[in-house]
Amino acid sequence: MTATATTSRHIVLTGATGQIAPLVVRHLAAHHRLTLTSRTARTTTRRPGAEHVACDYDAPESLVDAFRGADALFVVTNDPTRPEHDRNILKAAVEASVGHIVKLSAAAVHDRGAQDLVTRWQRDNEERIRRSGIPWTMIQPRLFMSHALAWASSIRTAGVTYALHPHSRNACIAPEDIAEASARVLGDAQHHFRSYELTGPQSLTAHEQSAVLAELLGRPLVCRELSRAEAHASYSRRYPTAMADALVASAERQLAGAKARTTDTVERLTGRPATTFAEWAARHRDRFV
Protein backbone atom coordinates (compact mmCIF):
# COMPACT_ATOMS: atom_id res chain seq x y z
CA MET A 1 0.00 0.00 0.00
CA THR A 2 1.31 3.47 -0.80
CA ALA A 3 1.74 6.28 1.72
CA THR A 4 -0.95 8.18 -0.22
CA ALA A 5 -3.51 5.43 0.35
CA THR A 6 -2.96 5.32 4.11
CA THR A 7 -2.33 8.98 4.96
CA SER A 8 -5.14 10.39 7.06
CA ARG A 9 -6.42 13.74 5.86
CA HIS A 10 -8.97 16.29 6.94
CA ILE A 11 -11.40 16.58 4.04
CA VAL A 12 -14.14 19.23 3.97
CA LEU A 13 -17.04 18.74 1.57
CA THR A 14 -19.41 21.56 0.72
CA GLY A 15 -22.79 20.67 -0.79
CA ALA A 16 -23.40 17.98 1.84
CA THR A 17 -27.16 18.03 1.22
CA GLY A 18 -26.82 17.98 -2.58
CA GLN A 19 -26.45 15.16 -5.10
CA ILE A 20 -22.73 14.55 -5.40
CA ALA A 21 -21.03 15.25 -2.03
CA PRO A 22 -22.97 12.57 -0.04
CA LEU A 23 -21.95 10.05 -2.73
CA VAL A 24 -18.30 11.18 -2.51
CA VAL A 25 -18.35 10.40 1.23
CA ARG A 26 -19.11 6.73 0.46
CA HIS A 27 -15.81 6.43 -1.40
CA LEU A 28 -13.54 8.14 1.13
CA ALA A 29 -11.46 5.85 3.32
CA ALA A 30 -12.56 5.48 6.94
CA HIS A 31 -9.31 6.90 8.33
CA HIS A 32 -9.94 10.38 6.90
CA ARG A 33 -11.51 13.04 9.11
CA LEU A 34 -14.55 14.46 7.29
CA THR A 35 -16.38 17.75 7.73
CA LEU A 36 -19.58 18.17 5.72
CA THR A 37 -21.16 21.57 5.17
CA SER A 38 -24.43 23.10 4.03
CA ARG A 39 -26.64 25.89 5.34
CA THR A 40 -28.32 23.61 7.84
CA ALA A 41 -26.30 20.99 9.69
CA ARG A 42 -28.63 18.06 9.05
CA THR A 43 -27.26 14.58 8.88
CA THR A 44 -27.33 13.13 5.36
CA THR A 45 -24.70 10.45 5.78
CA ARG A 46 -24.33 7.65 8.26
CA ARG A 47 -20.57 7.84 8.08
CA PRO A 48 -19.32 7.49 11.69
CA GLY A 49 -17.16 10.38 12.83
CA ALA A 50 -18.19 12.74 10.02
CA GLU A 51 -19.08 16.12 11.40
CA HIS A 52 -21.78 18.17 9.67
CA VAL A 53 -21.41 21.92 10.27
CA ALA A 54 -23.59 24.78 9.09
CA CYS A 55 -22.05 27.51 6.96
CA ASP A 56 -23.37 29.91 4.35
CA TYR A 57 -21.68 31.03 1.12
CA ASP A 58 -23.13 34.45 1.93
CA ALA A 59 -21.38 34.55 5.33
CA PRO A 60 -17.60 34.45 4.70
CA GLU A 61 -16.62 34.08 8.37
CA SER A 62 -18.70 30.89 8.65
CA LEU A 63 -16.73 29.48 5.70
CA VAL A 64 -13.32 30.20 7.24
CA ASP A 65 -14.40 28.41 10.42
CA ALA A 66 -15.67 25.40 8.48
CA PHE A 67 -12.61 25.14 6.20
CA ARG A 68 -9.87 25.64 8.82
CA GLY A 69 -7.27 22.86 8.78
CA ALA A 70 -8.62 21.22 5.62
CA ASP A 71 -6.08 19.25 3.62
CA ALA A 72 -8.66 19.13 0.82
CA LEU A 73 -11.90 20.96 0.07
CA PHE A 74 -14.64 19.72 -2.29
CA VAL A 75 -16.44 22.77 -3.69
CA VAL A 76 -20.04 22.60 -4.91
CA THR A 77 -22.04 25.71 -5.72
CA ASN A 78 -25.27 25.78 -7.68
CA ASP A 79 -26.33 29.37 -8.39
CA PRO A 80 -24.77 31.02 -11.46
CA THR A 81 -26.62 34.25 -10.62
CA ARG A 82 -24.57 34.47 -7.40
CA PRO A 83 -20.88 34.51 -8.45
CA GLU A 84 -19.99 35.93 -5.05
CA HIS A 85 -20.56 32.45 -3.57
CA ASP A 86 -17.48 31.05 -5.30
CA ARG A 87 -15.51 34.24 -4.59
CA ASN A 88 -16.33 33.95 -0.86
CA ILE A 89 -15.46 30.25 -0.79
CA LEU A 90 -12.08 30.86 -2.42
CA LYS A 91 -11.22 33.79 -0.15
CA ALA A 92 -12.08 31.68 2.88
CA ALA A 93 -10.05 28.74 1.53
CA VAL A 94 -6.99 30.98 1.20
CA GLU A 95 -7.52 32.41 4.70
CA ALA A 96 -8.02 28.92 6.16
CA SER A 97 -4.85 27.63 4.36
CA VAL A 98 -6.72 24.83 2.57
CA GLY A 99 -4.25 22.41 0.95
CA HIS A 100 -6.18 21.34 -2.18
CA ILE A 101 -9.40 22.45 -3.87
CA VAL A 102 -11.44 19.98 -5.91
CA LYS A 103 -14.04 21.94 -7.82
CA LEU A 104 -17.23 20.44 -9.21
CA SER A 105 -17.34 22.30 -12.53
CA ALA A 106 -18.79 21.24 -15.90
CA ALA A 107 -17.62 19.74 -19.20
CA ALA A 108 -19.26 22.66 -21.02
CA VAL A 109 -16.23 24.83 -20.15
CA HIS A 110 -14.50 23.05 -23.07
CA ASP A 111 -17.31 23.76 -25.56
CA ARG A 112 -15.88 26.60 -27.65
CA GLY A 113 -19.29 27.93 -28.63
CA ALA A 114 -20.66 27.95 -25.09
CA GLN A 115 -21.16 31.52 -23.92
CA ASP A 116 -24.27 31.11 -21.76
CA LEU A 117 -24.57 32.27 -18.15
CA VAL A 118 -23.88 28.86 -16.59
CA THR A 119 -20.78 28.09 -18.66
CA ARG A 120 -19.29 31.57 -18.25
CA TRP A 121 -19.85 31.23 -14.47
CA GLN A 122 -18.04 27.87 -14.33
CA ARG A 123 -15.16 29.17 -16.50
CA ASP A 124 -14.79 32.20 -14.19
CA ASN A 125 -14.89 29.94 -11.11
CA GLU A 126 -12.16 27.73 -12.54
CA GLU A 127 -10.00 30.67 -13.58
CA ARG A 128 -10.20 32.24 -10.12
CA ILE A 129 -9.18 28.95 -8.48
CA ARG A 130 -6.30 28.49 -10.92
CA ARG A 131 -4.96 31.93 -9.94
CA SER A 132 -5.43 31.38 -6.18
CA GLY A 133 -2.10 29.70 -5.40
CA ILE A 134 -3.92 26.70 -3.88
CA PRO A 135 -3.35 23.38 -5.68
CA TRP A 136 -6.54 22.48 -7.56
CA THR A 137 -8.28 19.72 -9.50
CA MET A 138 -11.25 20.39 -11.79
CA ILE A 139 -14.02 17.80 -12.06
CA GLN A 140 -15.86 18.56 -15.31
CA PRO A 141 -18.87 16.28 -15.83
CA ARG A 142 -21.44 16.18 -18.62
CA LEU A 143 -25.16 16.09 -17.82
CA PHE A 144 -26.01 14.03 -14.74
CA MET A 145 -28.04 10.90 -15.66
CA SER A 146 -30.22 11.76 -12.67
CA HIS A 147 -31.96 14.41 -14.80
CA ALA A 148 -34.03 11.47 -16.05
CA LEU A 149 -35.67 11.42 -12.61
CA ALA A 150 -37.56 14.55 -13.73
CA TRP A 151 -39.55 12.14 -15.94
CA ALA A 152 -40.55 9.89 -13.03
CA SER A 153 -43.91 11.53 -12.43
CA SER A 154 -45.00 11.72 -16.10
CA ILE A 155 -43.81 8.14 -16.66
CA ARG A 156 -45.93 6.96 -13.74
CA THR A 157 -49.03 8.94 -14.66
CA ALA A 158 -48.95 8.99 -18.48
CA GLY A 159 -46.12 6.82 -19.80
CA VAL A 160 -44.47 9.94 -21.22
CA THR A 161 -40.97 11.42 -21.25
CA TYR A 162 -40.21 14.77 -22.86
CA ALA A 163 -37.25 16.80 -24.10
CA LEU A 164 -36.22 19.70 -26.26
CA HIS A 165 -34.38 18.16 -29.24
CA PRO A 166 -35.02 14.53 -28.19
CA HIS A 167 -32.89 13.17 -31.08
CA SER A 168 -29.75 15.05 -29.95
CA ARG A 169 -27.00 13.20 -28.10
CA ASN A 170 -25.48 13.74 -24.67
CA ALA A 171 -22.68 11.66 -23.12
CA CYS A 172 -24.47 11.82 -19.77
CA ILE A 173 -22.79 10.45 -16.65
CA ALA A 174 -23.93 8.69 -13.49
CA PRO A 175 -23.63 10.93 -10.39
CA GLU A 176 -22.11 7.93 -8.61
CA ASP A 177 -19.22 7.94 -11.13
CA ILE A 178 -18.59 11.66 -10.63
CA ALA A 179 -18.51 11.05 -6.88
CA GLU A 180 -16.11 8.11 -7.04
CA ALA A 181 -13.76 9.99 -9.38
CA SER A 182 -13.86 13.01 -7.06
CA ALA A 183 -13.07 10.85 -4.03
CA ARG A 184 -10.03 9.44 -5.86
CA VAL A 185 -8.48 12.87 -6.37
CA LEU A 186 -9.33 14.63 -3.08
CA GLY A 187 -6.12 15.43 -1.24
CA ASP A 188 -3.94 13.42 -3.64
CA ALA A 189 -1.01 15.49 -4.95
CA GLN A 190 -0.82 13.29 -8.09
CA HIS A 191 -3.97 15.04 -9.26
CA HIS A 192 -2.94 18.61 -8.47
CA PHE A 193 -3.32 21.07 -11.36
CA ARG A 194 -5.32 18.62 -13.49
CA SER A 195 -8.73 18.89 -15.11
CA TYR A 196 -10.86 15.80 -15.64
CA GLU A 197 -13.62 15.86 -18.23
CA LEU A 198 -16.02 13.10 -17.16
CA THR A 199 -18.66 11.48 -19.35
CA GLY A 200 -20.65 8.30 -19.42
CA PRO A 201 -19.61 5.45 -21.76
CA GLN A 202 -22.18 6.25 -24.47
CA SER A 203 -23.79 9.25 -26.00
CA LEU A 204 -27.57 8.88 -25.84
CA THR A 205 -30.62 10.74 -27.10
CA ALA A 206 -33.72 11.27 -24.94
CA HIS A 207 -35.52 8.82 -27.27
CA GLU A 208 -32.88 6.18 -26.54
CA GLN A 209 -33.03 6.86 -22.79
CA SER A 210 -36.82 6.45 -22.95
CA ALA A 211 -36.39 3.12 -24.74
CA VAL A 212 -34.01 1.95 -21.99
CA LEU A 213 -36.54 2.95 -19.33
CA ALA A 214 -39.42 1.30 -21.23
CA GLU A 215 -37.46 -1.96 -21.39
CA LEU A 216 -36.61 -1.70 -17.70
CA LEU A 217 -40.18 -0.95 -16.65
CA GLY A 218 -41.71 -3.45 -19.06
CA ARG A 219 -44.13 -1.00 -20.65
CA PRO A 220 -44.15 1.37 -23.63
CA LEU A 221 -43.13 5.01 -23.15
CA VAL A 222 -43.65 7.90 -25.56
CA CYS A 223 -40.89 10.54 -25.79
CA ARG A 224 -42.56 13.86 -26.63
CA GLU A 225 -40.62 16.68 -28.29
CA LEU A 226 -40.92 20.03 -26.49
CA SER A 227 -40.84 23.24 -28.52
CA ARG A 228 -38.26 25.87 -27.52
CA ALA A 229 -41.08 27.94 -26.00
CA GLU A 230 -42.37 24.99 -23.96
CA ALA A 231 -38.88 24.14 -22.71
CA HIS A 232 -38.18 27.77 -21.81
CA ALA A 233 -41.49 28.05 -19.96
CA SER A 234 -40.74 24.85 -18.05
CA TYR A 235 -37.25 26.08 -17.03
CA SER A 236 -38.72 29.49 -16.10
CA ARG A 237 -41.02 27.86 -13.57
CA ARG A 238 -37.91 26.70 -11.64
CA TYR A 239 -35.20 29.27 -12.45
CA PRO A 240 -34.70 32.98 -13.18
CA THR A 241 -35.02 33.97 -16.87
CA ALA A 242 -31.25 34.20 -17.37
CA MET A 243 -30.91 30.57 -16.28
CA ALA A 244 -33.81 29.46 -18.50
CA ASP A 245 -32.09 31.21 -21.44
CA ALA A 246 -28.83 29.43 -20.60
CA LEU A 247 -30.52 26.01 -20.47
CA VAL A 248 -32.18 26.52 -23.86
CA ALA A 249 -28.81 27.67 -25.31
CA SER A 250 -27.28 24.54 -23.84
CA ALA A 251 -29.89 22.36 -25.60
CA GLU A 252 -29.10 24.13 -28.89
CA ARG A 253 -25.42 23.26 -28.44
CA GLN A 254 -26.43 19.67 -27.80
CA LEU A 255 -28.41 19.69 -31.07
CA ALA A 256 -25.25 20.90 -32.84
CA GLY A 257 -23.35 17.89 -31.45
CA ALA A 258 -21.25 19.64 -28.79
CA LYS A 259 -22.06 17.14 -26.04
CA ALA A 260 -21.71 13.82 -27.82
CA ARG A 261 -18.00 13.14 -27.19
CA THR A 262 -17.21 10.43 -24.63
CA THR A 263 -14.03 10.24 -22.55
CA ASP A 264 -12.37 7.34 -20.71
CA THR A 265 -11.65 9.49 -17.64
CA VAL A 266 -13.97 7.63 -15.25
CA GLU A 267 -12.19 4.37 -16.02
CA ARG A 268 -8.74 5.99 -15.74
CA LEU A 269 -9.56 7.46 -12.31
CA THR A 270 -11.60 4.63 -10.79
CA GLY A 271 -10.14 1.56 -12.53
CA ARG A 272 -13.58 0.37 -13.71
CA PRO A 273 -15.75 1.23 -16.73
CA ALA A 274 -18.16 4.15 -16.48
CA THR A 275 -21.76 3.24 -15.64
CA THR A 276 -24.14 2.90 -18.60
CA PHE A 277 -27.54 4.59 -18.54
CA ALA A 278 -29.18 1.14 -18.42
CA GLU A 279 -27.13 0.24 -15.33
CA TRP A 280 -27.86 3.58 -13.66
CA ALA A 281 -31.61 3.26 -14.41
CA ALA A 282 -31.73 -0.31 -13.07
CA ARG A 283 -30.17 0.85 -9.79
CA HIS A 284 -32.83 3.57 -9.50
CA ARG A 285 -35.78 1.57 -10.88
CA ASP A 286 -37.87 2.12 -7.74
CA ARG A 287 -37.88 5.88 -8.43
CA PHE A 288 -39.77 5.36 -11.70
CA VAL A 289 -42.51 2.94 -10.54
Residues that bind ligand NAP (CB under 6 A): 15-19, 38-40, 55-58, 76-78, 104, 106, 141, 143-144, 147
89 versus 213: smaller Cβ distance to ligand NAP? 89
Report the alpha-carbon distance of residue 198 to residue 14 in Å, rounded.
20
Using an 8 Å Cβ cutoff, are 215 and 58 in contact? Answer: no
Which residue has the CB atom at the shortest distance from ligand NAP?
18
CB 52 → ligand NAP: shortest distance, Å?
Answer: 10
128 versus 159: smaller Cβ distance to ligand NAP? 128
56 versus 279: smaller Cβ distance to ligand NAP? 56
Report the alpha-carbon distance of residue 139 to residue 77 in Å, rounded.
13
Report the alpha-carbon distance of residue 78 to residue 120 in Å, rounded.
13
CB 75 → ligand NAP: shortest distance, Å?
Answer: 9
Using an 8 Å Cβ cutoff, are 88 and 76 in contact? Answer: no
159 versus 239: smaller Cβ distance to ligand NAP? 239
Phi first, then psi: give them for residue 59, nearest 5 degrees.
-125, 85
CB 286 → ligand NAP: shortest distance, Å?
Answer: 20
66 versus 223: smaller Cβ distance to ligand NAP? 66
Burial class, 279, CB count within 10 angstroms (exposed 0-12 / middle 13-18 / buried 19+): middle
78 versus 153: smaller Cβ distance to ligand NAP? 78
The total number of residues shown for the chain amounts to 289
CB 139 → ligand NAP: shortest distance, Å?
Answer: 9
Phi first, then psi: give them for residue 24, nearest 5 degrees.
-60, -45
17 versus 236: smaller Cβ distance to ligand NAP? 17
For β-strands 101-104 and 72-75, DSSP reports them as parallel
Buried b (16+ CB within 10 A) or exposed e, 104-122: bbbbbbebeebebbbbbbb
Using an 8 Å Cβ cutoff, are 122 and 107 in contact? Answer: no
Report the alpha-carbon distance of residue 203 to residue 171 in Å, rounded.
4
Burial class, 102, CB count within 10 angstroms (exposed 0-12 / middle 13-18 / buried 19+): buried
CB 46 → ligand NAP: shortest distance, Å?
Answer: 17
CB 57 → ligand NAP: shortest distance, Å?
Answer: 4
CB 288 → ligand NAP: shortest distance, Å?
Answer: 18
